[in-house]
Structure 1
Amino acid sequence: MANCKFFSLMGFFFFIIFIIQLSEVTFSEAQKLAPAIYVFGDSLVDVGNNNYLKISLSKANFPHNGIDFPTKKPTGRFSNGKNAADFLAEKVGLPTSPPYLSFKSKLHKNDASFADGVSFASGGAGIFNGTDDTFRQSLPLAKQVEYYSTVFEELVKQLGSTEAQKRLSKSLFVIVIGSNDIFGYFENTDLHKKYTLQQYADFMVVTLKQRLQQLHGYGARKFVVAGVGPIGCCPGERYKSKTEECKEDTNELSVKYNEALKSMLEELKIELKDINYSYFDTYSLLLNITKNPASYGFVEVKAACCGLGNLNAEAFCVPVSKYCSNRRDHVFWDKYHPTEAASSILVDNIFDGPSQYSFPLNVKQLIAP
């Protein structure tokens, strides 16, 4: 009789454990607001793709990068900790989409991970090919979309066409790119001669539209597109001026590009009626932060936290660099990239911020059933 009671209690115990585990799984699934996130872009959202490019000089896989990351180690993110891609994934209830190149050689061994999202973002990348000439190697947007096409094909093989399309239609396609193209314009005298600021901005947008159309052909329906920030106010641009003020011509091109981008997205929505998008006005929010830093908890808006020389902006963050003790005080981690704290604020507004910054929908509205 004692043995019967023992086994009855054990059975009840295992039943309770099963119910708890089932609840945990159900809760975990319920926390996912979208099936997956596919990320395209540059160093602002690169989570390690460039680590796998052998000759690229555009890498962040060394100290002091990652000093505030959970592992306290550099990961390839151009940040003291997490970047915007990490924070957005957290908001959506997903793990950070892994870098595509981390398992490119295992396409037929690790297909399941594709269904949960992948990052194609690469430091130095631009809308145009060749924006990384200074740093020799990255994945330009055309190559990122090409790699995504292979992911799409694998998902169709794995899930079937109907199920793959259904899953992708609910997933987020994040586009954060354009800064390197703008920097490239001012570094290339041939581009000056060939295009006015407006012509170049329009050319950027026409090219980006083609890439978005390609992604639509491969199942993308929900786009999160970030405008370019006031990159003339980055430490890497400010230090070039004796007054340390923002570089106005760089900001002017950013504004022209953003305006053209907003118009293009409106047109694309008319042409492709089954898409929806969230445009994030990075420019306005970052400019507001630099003008009213105390309102956002910042003290330093001009100098980088980590670097060398004037404003810590004459070199990127490298092992011999000095870095600030309180990273939360700084908007910029290095000469061009935001700190973890600044990235967190940006994503708060991308996800459920006001229409002042995210329109016609914020991401929370975009992924609503």
Structure 2
Amino acid sequence: MKQIDLFKNYIQRLQGIVGVDQSRRIIDNALVVISAGTNEIYHLGCRYTVVAGLPPVGCLPIQETISFRNPLHRVRFEDKNSDSKDYNQKLSKLLSNLQSQLHRSTILYAGIYTPLIDMVINPKKYGFEHIEKGCCGIGLVEAGPLCNVIIPTCKDPSKFMFWDSIHPTEAAYKFVTTSLLKQFLNHLNLNGWYFS
């Protein structure tokens, strides 16, 4: 729930800068992205929310490392990817039902699975040379804080799909963002959002 506390802190700071009425207008029209769960964000005034689905978990370098058996043959784990797809279908349905109960809000499902699995299947299409390991360290086990000035990183992260053993690189996120904007464009334009 730390994110909720941080958001409450942001609201207070925003009110101090622009006043209560203007801060309410800003938050009412803000697009909030949630990648873990909705928690209690709605009663804080957010009306436009994006909830991200799961990626193809079986393709993450850490998953391959955990289940690694043959050093010459690394594979994607389709059972884990199938679990991600099942979860995403249920999440999308849940959000649709929730949307029908929250008439003043817009809740969008962010389908990140499809663009990411396409990057894994067609890495050259996106300019990636490495999809099996991350840019940081050996790229198979490092995550988050372990990627620092002490741990070596690759020379060109744009050639890697993953930054560490779990998280995509900035280059991968750019492709995901483009895909999501295409998903949302028509819906958001109808509600007064415009992208250029």
TM range (shorter): 0.7 to 0.9
Q: Which of 168, 174, 179 is 2:27 aligned to?
A: 168
2:82 aligned counterpart, secondary structure = helix
Query: Match for residue 55 of structure 2?
Result: 229
Is 1:290 equivalent to 2:117 in the alignment? no
Shift of the 266–235 alpha-carbon distance from structure 1 to 2, 3 Å rule, reads same
Q: Distance in 2 between matches of 1:169 and 1:262?
A: 23
Instruction: Please state how far the C-alpha of 1:289 moved relative to its aligned partner.
Output: 0.8
Aligned residues: 187
Query: Match for residue 46 of structure 1?
Result: none
Q: TM-score, length-normalised on structure 1?
A: 0.45
Structure 2, gaps ≥5 residues long: none
Shift of the 232–160 alpha-carbon distance from structure 1 to 2, 3 Å rule, reads same
Q: TM-score, length-normalised on structure 2?
A: 0.80
Is 1:253 equivalent to 2:83 in the alignment? yes
Shift of the 367–294 alpha-carbon distance from structure 1 to 2, 3 Å rule, reads farther
Instruction: Please state how far the C-alpha of 1:335 moved relative to its aligned partner.
Output: 1.0
The one-letter code sitting in structure 2 at the alignment partner of 1:343 is Y
Q: Distance in 2 between matches of 1:236 and 1:269?
A: 34
Instruction: Please state how far the C-alpha of 1:260 moved relative to its aligned partner.
Output: 1.8
Q: Which of 313, 316, 333 is 2:140 aligned to?
A: 313
2:161 aligned counterpart, secondary structure = strand
Query: Match for residue 347 of structure 1?
Result: 177
Which structure has the larger Rg over C-alpha atoms?
Answer: 1
Instruction: Please state how far the C-alpha of 1:262 moved relative to its aligned partner.
Output: 0.7
1:246 aligned counterpart, secondary structure = coil
For the 8 Å contact 1:278–1:360, the answer to whether it is kept is: no
The one-letter code sitting in structure 1 at the alignment partner of 2:11 is F
The one-letter code sitting in structure 1 at the alignment partner of 2:59 is C
**Equivalences for residues 191-270 of structure 1 within 5 A:** 208-209=37-38, 211=39, 214-239=40-65, 240-241=67-68, 242=70, 243-270=73-100
Q: Distance in 2 between matches of 1:265 and 1:334?
A: 30
Instruction: Please state how far the C-alpha of 1:280 moved relative to its aligned partner.
Output: 1.7
1:224 aligned counterpart, secondary structure = strand
Q: Distance in 1 between matches of 2:105 and 2:50?
A: 11
The one-letter code sitting in structure 1 at the alignment partner of 2:2 is K
2:41 aligned counterpart, secondary structure = helix
For the 8 Å contact 1:168–1:220, the answer to whether it is kept is: yes
Query: Match for residue 134 of structure 1?
Result: none
The one-letter code sitting in structure 1 at the alignment partner of 2:64 is R
The one-letter code sitting in structure 2 at the alignment partner of 1:347 is T
2:108 aligned counterpart, secondary structure = strand
Q: Distance in 2 between matches of 1:348 and 1:229?
A: 16
Is 1:274 equivalent to 2:99 in the alignment? no
Q: Distance in 2 between matches of 1:269 and 1:332?
A: 33
Instruction: Please state how far the C-alpha of 1:231 moved relative to its aligned partner.
Output: 2.1
The one-letter code sitting in structure 2 at the alignment partner of 1:170 is N
Q: Distance in 1 between matches of 2:18 and 2:7?
A: 16
Tell me how large the CA RMSD over aligned residues is.
Answer: 2.7
Query: Match for residue 193 of structure 2?
Result: 368
Shift of the 347–364 alpha-carbon distance from structure 1 to 2, 3 Å rule, reads farther
Instruction: Please state how far the C-alpha of 1:264 moved relative to its aligned partner.
Output: 1.6
Query: Match for residue 330 of structure 1?
Result: 160
